[in-house]
Every structure is written in structure tokens, then in C-alpha cells.
Structure 1
Amino acid sequence: MQMTNPWVIDNTYILLRLLCAVLLGGLIGWERERSSHAAGLRTHILVSLGSALIMLLSMYGFAAFVQEPSVRVDPARLATAVISGIGFLGAGTILFTGKAITGLTTAASLWVVAAIGLAVGAGFYFAAILTTLIVFLTLLVLNSVEQRYIRGHHTHVVTVRGRTGSGLLEKVSDFMKEREIRIRKLEVHVKSGYPLSESGETSSAAEITMHLTSDKRMDPAEMTHQLLRMDGVYSVAIE
């Protein structure tokens, strides 16, 4: 089946392109879903499918006006809007957690999936399939390589609260040194009149916030348990 008129498309081709967009977007979305990211299988499928539909509409939806002398048909006019608009959706997956920015890769994958959907809608099957395979391998394979060889350290934000008169800062600092955990940033806030019990007894309290890095993976539960065993410590929070 060959299309002879560039402004007209058969229903079979429409079905083929939409299904192809679903499959290609779903492949990338499956990888994001298995990694528990904000945008997963359904989101990527919808972005790819919607982009393909908009490209089909841009190319063939206004065929009735092609012969009009005062109408200029530009098949790429709606595609540019997709590329610009997908930025709002991608921005929703980017989060600043206080220690790092997350979601950049997922935002980029949504942008690429939109481009894949546009390519499928335009009939560029080879380019769309090849791009999907490259993106899938990049997300699946290079993530393991990055975690093992490039990201040589793990980052955590630890907040410890305790009594100021118990040598809290020195104890916590020695605790981190013994475990070869580096303190990259340290903040200490001292509060007076902090209640220690229901009887009304008060004391000065210190809140220590540390940004930590380590070549070894830290167990938050174990670290919390060990810090709480220190004399003077009554609260520990780890991110």
C-alpha cells in the first residue's frame, strides 16, 4: 500500500503509526517504571502517543485547505508547539531534595519520547526505532556503569538533635571519622529552653545538620540506631 498524495493518509497508516508510538514510548516508560521514577510507563506512552497524533494532525488534518490560495500549510507548525510544551511536563518531574536535584533524566526521557512520537507521526520509523533503542540502552546499561564507576560516593543529609553540654558535636564527628564518612557541610543551631521531660525540665539543645559523603553505601536504619545510643542524643533524621 503506497501513499501517492503527501497530504492524504490511509486509516491503516494512522493505526500503524499510533501503535508504533505506543510501543516505542512504552519501552522507555517501562525502564522508568521499573526504576520507580515519577514518570513511568503510562506517562511515556501518553506523551509518545499524543506527540504522534499531533504530528499526524499537523501533516494531514488540514488537507482540505491545501488548495486554498490564501492558506499556507506548514506541516511542522504543531510539532514545534509539542517540543516547547513538553518542558512543562518535564519540569514537574524535577525535584530539589535539599541534598541533590533529582528527576533530570526522567525529564529528558519525556522530551526524547515526545520527539520519538513526532518522528513516528511523520513516518520516520527507522529513526524513531533506532533512537528508542539507543535511549533504552542508555537508561538501562549506563545507569549501572554510572553507579559503579562514576558516582563513587553516596550522599546523605543527617540531622542530629541533643543536649549541648554532652559534647554532642565531638561525639558525632568522631562517629563519622571512624566509619570513613566525610562531612562536606556542617550547620549547628543552639536552642535554649528545650523541654527534656513532661515535668518541665529544660536545657539547651543543639541541632546539627550534616551533608555526608561516603565511598560505601550507608544504611540509614543502622546509622540512626547507633546515633540514638549516644549519650545526649534524642532525635536523628536521615535523608
Structure 2
Amino acid sequence: MLVWRNFDPSGFGATVVSLACAFVLGGLIGLERQYRQRTAGLRTNVLVATGAASFVALGMRLNDAHGATQIIAYVVSGIGFLGAGVIMKEGAQVRGLNTAATLWASGAVGAASGAGFFAEAAALAAFVVAGNTLLRPLVDFVNRLPVSATSTEAHYAVHVVCRAEDVSEVRDLLFQEIERANYPVRDIEILSENEDLVELAASLIPTSADSDELDAVVAALEKAEVVESATWTVSTTT
């Protein structure tokens, strides 16, 4: 039978070792993700790593290094689509980027395991786990630093509250005043509204801004009779 003709005990043993290595190392990465209750946890990272290892090992069996190289290229793009599925946008916040990057790295661990580079796979897994754990205190420290309105690349928005019947006029005024200050406007959207008042927000293209200039924009807007109140905000870019 064809199945026995293609069976190679030594090749099968090498594949099993590759899968086992990917399983253990992917499990180490996934265990840390599971502990932190991330979307892609233990099982997902193990499956990504072992799947990548299986594809690369199959490529090696069929066409040696050239086959493995071809498979790795497809694995990289395929895991990219998988990672995109865990990225979610909630308002101005984007979540899941770290999870997607971890899945991508798990795929690399699996690919290295499938190609027989076990030491390299173990080293990569160690770096991935270290990146997700040892760097966390540094990330928390940086996130606690105040956002500078003069030196930090951030997302700036100018907010205006007006009466519902004045929305069109205020939208034009808002755009005009920001353009006069030489700041490009990405878009103007309605954040909230009720029967009487509407809040508009003009998002500036991420850049560094001068707080005095934005204060001047707000002051000019507040002078208009159709504007109930105005302010500006700054938040870090994602």
C-alpha cells in the first residue's frame, strides 16, 4: 500500500521529536498567556506551534531545505491572518496586538522546531516568555508617565459642545479654527448627543502639538455664540 511505501521510520521519528519540541515550547509560551487570561492561551499557542512545526517538517520530508523554505513563507503569512482575528478595536483603544505578536512568535518557534533547530526554538521561546513577563514592569512604569503635550507623539482631539440645531455651523467653525492653527484634521465625529446638546470631537492626525496653540483654538471656539463649551484632550497613540 502507498501508506507503507511512504513510511520512513527515521523520518517519522524526527517529525515526532519536532512536534514534541514545538508542543513543549509552545506550551511554555501559552501557559504564561493562559495565566494572564489572554484570548489566545495555552491550547491556541500549542496548536499554532505544533501546526507550524508539522508543515515545516512535511516540507523538509518532501523537498529538503527548499521545501521547508517554501512552507515557512506560507506559515508566516497564514499566522498573520490568524493574529488579525484576535485584534479588536474598542473606541480609540486597540486590543490584542500583543496576543497576535505572541501567536506569530509561537509560529516561529514551531517552524524552527519543524526544521530541526531545537536549540534556536528553545532560545526563541525563552525570549518570547521573557518579553511577556520581564518587560511588564517596564511597560507599566512607562504607561504611568504623564503624557507631554510638547514632546510626545500622541492623539489629540478638540471637543466642542453645542445645541443640536447648530451642529452643522459648529462643525465648520471647528474645522476652520483648527486649520487656522495649522493642525491637520483627521475627522470630526459626534461623541454624544441628546435632545438639546451635542458633543463634537475633531481628531488631529497624530503628531506633537503645542499646548498654548491648542488653548488658543479652544479660546477662539468658546467666543462663538453657537458654542456652549470647548476643550482639548491628549492620549497616547496605539
SS at match of 1:46: helix
Which of these residues, 134, 137, 142, is aligned with residue 127 of structure 2? Answer: 134
Structure 1 residues 203 and 138: CA distance shift in structure 2, 3 A: closer
The alignment's C-alpha RMSD in Å is 3.2
Matched, 1:186 2:159: yes
Q: How many residues align?
A: 160
Structure 1 residues 205 and 12: CA distance shift in structure 2, 3 A: same
The one-letter amino acid paired with 2:47 is L
Match of 2:109 in 1: 116
Q: Distance in 1 between matches of 2:110 and 2:45?
A: 10
Structure 1 residues 154 and 126: CA distance shift in structure 2, 3 A: same
Q: Distance in 2 between matches of 1:114 and 1:190?
A: 54
Where do 5+ consecutive residues of structure 1 fail to align? 1-6, 64-71, 156-182, 193-201, 212-239
Kindly provide the CA deviation profile for residues 160-196 of structure 1, in whole angstroms up to 9, marking residues without a partner as x: xxxxxxxxxxxxxxxxxxxxxxx9653536559xxxx
The one-letter amino acid paired with 1:14 is T
Q: TM-score, normalised by structure 2?
A: 0.58
Structure 1 residues 184 and 25: CA distance shift in structure 2, 3 A: same
Match of 1:169 in 2: none
Match of 1:21 in 2: 22
Q: Distance in 1 between matches of 2:34 and 2:112?
A: 23
The one-letter amino acid paired with 1:186 is H
Identity level (%): 33
Structure 1 residues 23 and 153: CA distance shift in structure 2, 3 A: same
Is residue 9–residue 60 contact of structure 1 (8 Å, CA) maintained in 2? Answer: no
Q: Distance in 2 between matches of 1:52 and 1:136?
A: 19
Where do 5+ consecutive residues of structure 2 fail to align? 1-7, 148-155, 166-193, 204-238
Which of these residues, 93, 96, 120, is aligned with residue 86 of structure 2? Answer: 93
Match of 2:39 in 1: 38
Bigger helix share:
2
The one-letter amino acid paired with 2:130 is L
